[in-house]
Amino acid sequence: MDILTEANDNSRFRYQGAELDLFEKAVNWKQYLSSCVLPWLTGDVLEVGAGNGATTPYICSQKATSWTAVEPDAALARVLRDRLLRNLPRTPWRVEVCSLKELGEEMTFDAVVYIDVLEHIECDANELAMAASHLRPGGRLAILAPAHQWLFSEFDAAIGHFRRYTARSLATVVPPGFEHITTFYLDSVGLLASIANRFLLRRHTPAAKQLAFWDRGLVRLSRVLDPLLAYRVGKSVVGVWRKGQGTG
């Protein structure tokens, strides 16, 4: 399916930050995070803030019967559409050029996923309340976000982050009526690089060589070390919740 729908005047929306281009080639990281969230992304899936679609092919498996990607930046949405045309030949999909609040109320899903998006949204609790209204009873809410507010750096500020999360702070913005499934941390080795950037390097933007070293070296080490640490340490946090059967 090839659908791109523009709502209202979102062509004037412009994404703040350039990390999408920076992290587009972080293949090992995308493969790692996808392996951790795929079990819950089944049925009809809504991806909020899909950006340029660099992560979407990794988190959309054959267990997804349909995929709807919401992206308010019209320029990014066009890149997203082209990428899905190339990479999702079998899964019915659509791109909605709008924010979540402009998505049709009649559109409901079995899963809603946020990958490095919630930290860009000032009113995160309100955002998740809207996401809950688009989830069917029993549907899953899956979130991946940067971890630990004490790591908030000049880079975070430069790319439009309002905050970083812990397992506890992430749970506080999930709407009532959701059952907690799991929360865990990823990239324990990458945490060391984030600490170095926060307290020593203080770079607004990581260099391409730094990103390549992280993705090709540190992420691979984290895939070995994270299970040994019981996923209790890392620079990213993942949380998954299930909507209660009696929740409207």
DSSP per-residue string spanning 138-165: EEEEEEEEEB-GGG--HHHHHTT----B
Q: Which two tokens stand for residue 144?
A: 């991946």
Q: Is residue 80 a part of any domain in this protein?
A: yes
How far apart (Å, rounded) are the C-alpha atoms in residues 145 and 205? 18
Q: What is the pLDDT along the chain (248 residues), one digit of tens a residue?
A: 555 565 544 434 444 545 677 788 899 999 999 999 999 999 999 999 999 999 999 999 999 999 999 999 999 999 999 999 999 988 999 999 999 999 999 999 999 999 999 999 999 999 999 999 999 999 999 999 999 999 998 888 888 999 999 999 999 999 999 999 999 999 999 998 888 777 765 556 677 888 899 999 999 999 999 999 999 999 999 999 999 987 66
Quote the DSSP letter at residue 185: E
The CATH number for 144's domain is 3.40.50.150
Sheet holding 236-243, edge to edge: 4-6, 93-97, 64-70, 43-48, 109-115, 135-146, 236-243, 178-186
Quote the DSSP letter at residue 215: I
How far apart (Å, rounded) are the C-alpha atoms in residues 14 and 19? 14
Rg (CA), the chain: 17
Q: Is residue 248 a part of any domain in this protein?
A: no
Q: Are 42 and 110 in contact (CB under 8 A)?
A: yes
Q: Write the DSSP string, 52-87.
A: TSSSHHHH--TTEEEEEEE-S-HHHHHHHHHHHHHH
Q: Is residue 132 a part of any domain in this protein?
A: yes
Upper half-sphere CA count for residue 101 (Cβ side, 13 Å): 7
Please tell me the predicted confidence (pLDDT) of residue 209. 85
Going from the C-alpha of 210 to that of each of 191, 193, 225, the distances in angstroms are 14, 9, 20
Q: Within 10 Å of residue 216's Cβ, how many Cβ atoms?
A: 14
Please tell me the predicted confidence (pLDDT) of residue 245. 84
How far apart (Å, rounded) are the C-alpha atoms in residues 51 and 70? 8
Q: Which two tokens stand for residue 209?
A: 């060589």
| Total domains present in the chain | 1
For residue 205, report the phi and psi dihedrals to the nearest 5 degrees: -140, 125
Domain that holds residue 115: 4-243
How far apart (Å, rounded) are the C-alpha atoms in residues 152 and 162? 9
What residues pair up with 99 in beta bridges, in sequence order? none
Which distant-in-sequence residues (6+ apart) come within 8 Å of 200 by Cβ? none
Q: Is residue 39 a part of any domain in this protein?
A: yes
Please tell me the predicted confidence (pLDDT) of residue 134. 98
Q: Is residue 155 a part of any domain in this protein?
A: yes
pTM, rounded to two decimals: 0.92
